[in-house]
Structure 1
Amino acid sequence: MAFFHTLFGARDPGTAARQRRAAERNARVNASGTALLAAELLRSTHALVQLSEAEALTVVGYMQLRRHAEGEAIIRQGDSGGTGDDGYMALVVEGEVTVEAVSVSRTAPLTVNVLGPGSLMGEMSLIDGAARSATCTASTDVRCAVLNRESLEALIAEEPATAAKLLSAVAQRLSRRLRESDIKLQLYSQLVFSMQQEIDRLVPDLD
């Protein structure tokens, strides 16, 4: 009897529950045209091209769809966990988003970027929970797919292989952005150096 129980006995209830939740998520995603579009956009060159179709569908199963009216702030610069921001990452599914930031030397916000469908925002705070570095405002009515930190933790616990691929893709994306920023800083430093040389040439030495 012990032999038959080993072969045909009840499954681990935890495994059965995870399989049931996975089936429910898959059914929900497949029944939603917006969710399927979100999975397709998540794999775009603007987002996380490293994900496979199956991995993107799995990730979208852990995301929530949100609507934002024109003029509504989706992310606010300076917000963090202490201000009610749970560090979510958002994928633009429909609409347009304006990214603005206020620097130390400016009082008015500076437009940094304009994002369209397939663009990601907020991935840094998803990873480290730190304050937002910019404000993202809906320029039109916007639909987003949002992955918050609680859902990310659930993804890690239930789908570790997919979670690892997601985090690796996000890390590569952030690394690429950092390298682009380094290049811009180098160009800015060269420009400042050239301007200083020109000033030194044009302005006579007062000593």
Structure 2
Amino acid sequence: MALDDDIARLAQQPLLGLMERDALRLVAFAAENRSLRAGDVLFRIGEPSDGAVLIVSGAVALASQDDGQPAAEILGPGALIGEMALFSSIGRPVTAIAREPTQVMRLSRSVMRRVLGEFPASAEAIADAIGERLRGFVSELTAVQNALNAIDRD
């Protein structure tokens, strides 16, 4: 039953929900379930990423600076932290700290790569969705650039 619950949690994520059920089953089976206490650090800004973290219960604070300032964002159950780290090696842009007793699923990039290699339809669906996101970002940036250019001309 717990595995089915984990699969359902993963399927609710926009990108992961595009994957075939058997692919999600492998990701869920390989996920590391962890219990955190309030104040436990998931990762710090600048650390290399190795995957993503799905919050099952509790809350995680994200801070863009490691200087004790209040968190920039608090995420709760269902939030996926570090989604792009499932597909690319990047430095962590924030520090993530449990705000209260929290349950998380750690999803490994190496497992994701193996699963997508075994399920090419899932890999294609995710690649298409990421491509669509990138096209949207480029369109938004073009609009901002055009607005800035208009200001410069005035």
User: What does residue 101 of structure 2 align with?
Assistant: 141
Deviations 1:106-149 (A, max 9, x none): x5545332211111111223322121101111111222122212
User: What does residue 85 of structure 2 align with?
Assistant: 125
Superposed, which structure 2 residues align to 1:59-74 within 5 Å? 59-74=27-42
Q: Which has the larger helix fraction?
A: 1
- Once residues 177 and 139 of structure 1 are traced to their aligned partners in structure 2, the CA distance between those partners, rounded to angstroms, is 33
- Once residues 135 and 106 of structure 2 are traced to their aligned partners in structure 1, the CA distance between those partners, rounded to angstroms, is 22
Give the counterpart of 1:89 among 31, 36, 52: 52
CA gap of 1:88–1:45, structure 2 versus 1, over 3 A, is closer
- TM score, norm. by length of structure 2: 0.71
Q: Which has the larger strand fraction?
A: 2
After TM superposition, where is structure 1 displaced by more than 6 Å over at least 4 residues in a row? none
Percent identity of paired positions between Structure 1 and Structure 2: 21
- TM score, norm. by length of structure 1: 0.55
- Once residues 63 and 133 of structure 2 are traced to their aligned partners in structure 1, the CA distance between those partners, rounded to angstroms, is 18
What secondary structure is seen at the aligned counterpart in 2 of 1:61? helix
Give the counterpart of 1:156 among 80, 105, 116: 116
Paired AA for residue 75 in structure 1: F
- Once residues 173 and 144 of structure 1 are traced to their aligned partners in structure 2, the CA distance between those partners, rounded to angstroms, is 28
Count of aligned residue pairs for this structure pair: 148
Higher RCO, Cα 8 Å, sep 6+: 2
Query: Based on CA coordinates, which of the two structures has the bigger radius of gyration?
Result: 1
- Once residues 150 and 135 of structure 1 are traced to their aligned partners in structure 2, the CA distance between those partners, rounded to angstroms, is 22
What secondary structure is seen at the aligned counterpart in 1 of 2:96? strand
Q: Is the 8 A contact 1:73 1:136 kept in 2?
A: yes
Q: 1:150 deviation in Å? A: 2.2
Q: Is 1:75 aligned with 2:43?
A: yes
Unaligned runs of 5+ in 2: none
Paired AA for residue 41 in structure 1: R
Q: Is the 8 A contact 1:96 1:114 kept in 2?
A: yes
Aligned CA RMSD, in angstroms, stands at 3.6
Q: Is the 8 A contact 2:15 2:126 kept in 1?
A: no
